[in-house]
Amino acid sequence: MELKEITCIVCPLGCRIQVEMEGGEIKTVKGYSCSRGLEYAKNEVTMPKRTITTSVRAIGGHLPLLSVRTKEPVPKEKIQEIMLELAKVEVKAPVKIGDVVVKNILGTGVDIIATRNLYVK
């Protein structure tokens, strides 16, 4: 039996959750205060995901960089590969908040979207 302890980040309570696993399967989950914490713990021990926030180069805009993020969380093990791919991206002004900058990044099914407006110089 393997015991994993995690701190829930879904809400400000920061519950300490204990997950007992056996053979890669969840046996028990204890210490959560809400159903969102239970779901977070299950996902965190089986397939952790994160939202990426970063910036990409901007061409012809009032700023040299455009802030972007993943529209949804991506598998944690893909973060470095996604960041390397985003380092190659250049966007042309104008761009509006919510515009898709990269569709389906690395086949994850998740888009990269703009988090601010980029105006033409």
**Contact assessment for residue 82 and residue 56, using Cβ atoms and an 8 Å cutoff:** no
pLDDT tens for residues 25-79?
Answer: 999 999 999 999 999 999 999 999 999 999 999 999 999 999 999 999 999 999 9
Number of alpha carbons in the 13 Å side-chain half-sphere of residue 8: 24
Domain that holds residue 42: 2-46
Number of domains in the chain: 2
Distance CA(72)–CA(110), nearest Å, equals 6
Residues 29 and 80 grouped into a single domain: no
Residue 64 domain flag: yes
Residues 77 and 24 grouped into a single domain: no
Residue 33 domain flag: yes
Residues 84 and 35 grouped into a single domain: no
The pTM of this model reads: 0.85
- Kindly indicate the confidence band of residue 9, based on its pLDDT and cuts at 50, 70 and 90: very high
Residues 60 and 41 grouped into a single domain: no
Residues 65 and 36 grouped into a single domain: no
Residues 60 and 107 grouped into a single domain: yes
